[in-house]
Structure 1
Amino acid sequence: MNWDIVEGNWKQLKGAAQEKWGELTNDELDQAEGKREKLIGLVQEKYGQTRDDAERAVDDFYRDHT
């Protein structure tokens, strides 16, 4: 999985991330900078998910937008 694609297009993909994870603020998404680990941590924290569930959700997002 080449996460660099998401990082490089984060400004464009941030809106899609906001739609998927509406509880994440613009500031939080800006801080994530499209980085996989940061996004997993945010999703895990905001939604009370396990690490595995958050990873799956973020990886699904990647597949849907690349």
Structure 2
Amino acid sequence: MNWDQIKGDWTQVKGKAQQQWGKLTNDDLDVIEGKREELVGKIQERYGIAREEAEKQADDFSSKF
């Protein structure tokens, strides 16, 4: 699934994002609204990881759908 599809189905997908990244709050997920860059930024912020790693995790997440 590409990010346009994820963005369109975000209300259904965000539960899976919450499972994968437990440190993301419901407010975080509401702000993200399926936008890849927002998700990468929040993963980076909450987990204290490098941007490249956060991007890899986001891409791995999107490839599961």
TM-score, length-scaled by structure 2: 0.96
Matched ranges for 1:2-41 at <5 A = 2-41=2-41
User: Structure 2, unaligned stretches of length 5 or more?
Assistant: none
Identity of aligned residues (%): 55
**Hey, what does 1:55 align to over in structure 2?**
55
Higher relative contact order (CA 8 A, sep 6+): 2
Residue deviations 1:14-34 (CA, integer Å, cap 9, x gap): 000000000000010000000
Residue deviations 1:3-59 (CA, integer Å, cap 9, x gap): 101000100000000000000000100000000000000000000010000000000
TM-score, length-scaled by structure 1: 0.94
Matched positions, count: 65
2:2/2:62 contact within 8 Å kept: no
- The ranges of structure 1 where at least 4 consecutive aligned residues each deviate by more than 4 angstroms after the TM superposition are none
Q: CA deviation at 1:2?
A: 2.9
Letter matched to residue 33 of structure 2: E
1:48 and 1:13 mapped to 2: Cα distance?
23
CA RMSD after TM alignment: 1.1
